[in-house]
């Protein structure tokens, strides 16, 4: 396992770094991406640190995948995009910028071009409103 003392996602898990959380269970957390590629861009992470797909334990991979599926369904229900891009990268050459395993859930509309991830910070109030819509989709 890699050193994770300065990992931003570990800081979010610990509560040291603020995040607009959407969902959390014993093994995973989901929160709004602060530099989204599209409105509703949500991240899912294991709470246990693993830098990438090659380091994550099988149990944490399964838990993260199940949470990703659950969150994608909620994003679909809440935001009604035409499609959802699920993305996971490994290594800087592949575009990974935070070295803690994570999955991107990116809602897409027909004809929409994927925005450049990481270039523009989202308005925190917009993130909170989107998170609330997704959380409300949890209710029957």
Active site residues: 102
113, 128 contact by CB (below 8 A): no
Contacts of 73 (CB under 8 A, 6+ apart): none
Pick from 40, 27, 113, 45: nearest CA to 77: 40
128, 136 contact by CB (below 8 A): no
Q: What are the beta bridge partners of residue 84?
A: 107
Retrieve residue 46's tokens: 């294991």
Residue 4 CA, distance from chain mean position: 18
DSSP-derived secondary structure letter, 120: S
């Amino acid at each position: 396992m890699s050193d994770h003392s300065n990992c931003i996602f570990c800081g979010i898990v610990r509560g040291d770094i603020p995040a607009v959380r959407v969902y959390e269970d014993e093994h995973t957390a989901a929160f709004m991406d602060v530099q989204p590629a599209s409105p509703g861009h949500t991240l899912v992470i294991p709470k246990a640190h693993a830098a990438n797909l090659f380091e994550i334990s099988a149990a944490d991979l399964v838990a993260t995948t199940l949470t990703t599926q659950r969150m994608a369904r909620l994003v679909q229900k809440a935001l009604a995009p035409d499609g959802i891009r699920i993305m996971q990268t490994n290594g800087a050459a592949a575009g990974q910028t935070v070295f803690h395993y994570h999955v991107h859930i990116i809602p897409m509309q027909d004809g929409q071009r994927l925005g450049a991830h990481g270039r523009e910070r989202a308005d925190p109030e917009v993130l909170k409103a989107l998170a609330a819509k997704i959380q409300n989709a949890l209710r029957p």
